[in-house]
Amino acid sequence: MRDLGYKIYPLNTGIITVDQGAYCTLGKGIGKKVDIPATAWYVTDGKEKILVDTGMCDTARANRWHHEGYQPAGARIDEQLRTRVNVSPAEIQVIFFTHLHWDHCSNMKLFARAKLYVQRRELEFALNPPLPPYYRSYEASVLGLEPPYKDCSFEILDGEFNYNHAITLFPTPGHSVGHQSISIRTQNGVIVIAGDAVFVQENMEGSPDEFLDFIPIGRYINYFEMWNSFKEIRRRADLVLPGHEIKVFDRNVYPSE
């Protein structure tokens, strides 16, 4: 088979309802409810089959412990893979986790054959969240929940990691302590799957009138790291794919076929 380069397919695993100004664009849109997708990504060069994140949980669990929202029939990650790209969970070889919040790692145990990659800082924080406001984000056992990653074996990373000639995982902390983004060299340039380092497209557009190169995300654990991660993503990327931007579904695949 001729090497066609990497293709990236967005997978919508459900809808989360949030306050725009509290989560997506800090201070802009306070009180405005918006529906944002819980996006995962299928990445392939025609040979290797990779996921970036595994998306959100079912509707009942999401509403009980996290946010108003829903996972429609057919939206679970394994169902999305089958209907969108005709791939079964057993075929997935690798999963890169941007971070281990509930809406990015649910149903990960469906992929029993996959190698799982995560940053050490993220895994250590997730296994024992030291701040009560993050118990729900990581579905901590103190709540009586079993987090999706319990008893899973990971390939643990300490900083930047070159997976191969085209894919690099690099730290983008700020939203979470061990967040990472994934840089993928394609035939149309470098695409960065940003995870929640970038919630929506507006974050990267900034606000020139306010002398802001970026619009901060609302949900962050370290403002300084968040800002530096914006800069690092911009430095690397020809195209940024945010974690909760509905417009990414305007295309079936990146780069376009």
- The one-letter amino acid code at 182 reads I
The CA–CA distances, whole Å, from 197 to 22, 191, 228 equal 15, 14, 10
Model confidence at 1: pLDDT above 80: no
For 9-22, the pLDDT digits (tens) are: 999 999 999 999 99
Residue 249: is its pLDDT beyond 90? yes
What DSSP line would sit under 110-170, residue for residue? Answer: G-TT-EEEEEHHHHHHHHS-SSGGGTTTTT-GGGT---TTTT---EEE-S-EE-SSSEEEE
Dist. CA 146–CA 169, nearest whole Å: 27
Please give the full DSSP string across 18-82, using - where no structure is assigned: EEIIIIISTTSSTT-EEEEEEEEEEEESSS-EEEE--B---HHHHHHHT-SEE--TT-SHHHHHH
Average pLDDT over residues 102-116: 98
Average predicted confidence (pLDDT) for the chain: 96
The domains of the chain are located at 7-250
Kindly compute the dihedral angle of the four CA atoms of residues 70, 71, 72, 77, in this order, to the nearest 10 degrees. Answer: 170
pTM: 0.96
What's the pLDDT tens digit per position in 189-243?
Answer: 999 999 999 999 999 999 988 899 999 999 999 999 999 999 999 999 999 999 9
7-250 CATH choice from 3.30.300.20, 1.10.10.10, 3.60.15.10, 2.40.50.100: 3.60.15.10
Q: Are 138 and 147 in contact (CB under 8 A)?
A: yes
- By C-alpha distance, which of 9, 41, 49, 56 is closest to 181? 41
